[in-house]
Amino acid sequence: MVVVEIRSSEHVGTARKQVQARAMAVGLSTLEITKFVTAASELARNVLIHGGGGTMTVHDVQRDGKAGLQLDFEDQGPGIADVTLALRDGYTTANSLGLGLGGAKRLVHDFEIVSHDGSGTHIRITQWKRR
């Protein structure tokens, strides 16, 4: 398990590199790695911009004999009141493109918003190795 602090845009780069390295170690395909790193980058940016900073935790996981890589993005920001709305392409509260969250969801195998109760945000994504 590795925890990466996300407090600056430099840290978003650190998070990207960490995910790339761990995904290669798990043995994900090049395509799955590219997708996962892109999703991680968007979620890390959201932690920084919308959540006021936080952490990314990287875990190796196993399910039904399958290996995978799981990332938890956690911040203590305002949280996401309406998750369905936030996932919609083009929805943004930051005058940006509003593509990060929905794009990230489409790029990964599992996508879960674990908490959204006004006391921060926790998003968990997982990419599985093909057997």
Asked if residue 80 binds ligand ATP (CB under 6 A), the reply is yes
Asked if residue 46 binds ligand ATP (CB under 6 A), the reply is yes
Q: Are 37 and 16 in contact (CB under 8 A)?
A: yes
Measured from each CB, the residue nearest to ligand ATP is: 100
**Whole-number minimum distance, CB 51 to ligand ATP, in Å?**
4
Q: Angle between the 30-49 and 9-26 helix axes, to the nearest 10 degrees?
A: 150
Distances (CA, A) of 112 to 54, 69, 96, 105: 17, 14, 23, 9
| Number of residues lying near Mg ion (CB under 5 A) | 2
With contacts defined by CB under 6 A, name the span among 3-11, 29-37, 55-63, 94-102 that binds ligand ATP.
Answer: 94-102
Of 18, 55, 70, 121, the residue at the interface with ligand ATP (CB under 6 A) is 121
Query: 């998070």: which residue's tokens?
Result: 15
Q: How many CB atoms lie within 10 A of CB 44?
A: 28
Q: Are 116 and 80 in contact (CB under 8 A)?
A: yes
Asked if residue 51 binds Mg ion (CB under 5 A), the reply is no
**Whole-number minimum distance, CB 8 to ligand ATP, in Å?**
16
Q: Which of 32, 78, 31 is nearest to 54 (CA)?
A: 78
With contacts defined by CB under 6 A, name the span among 7-15, 30-38, 46-54, 61-69 that binds ligand ATP.
Answer: 46-54
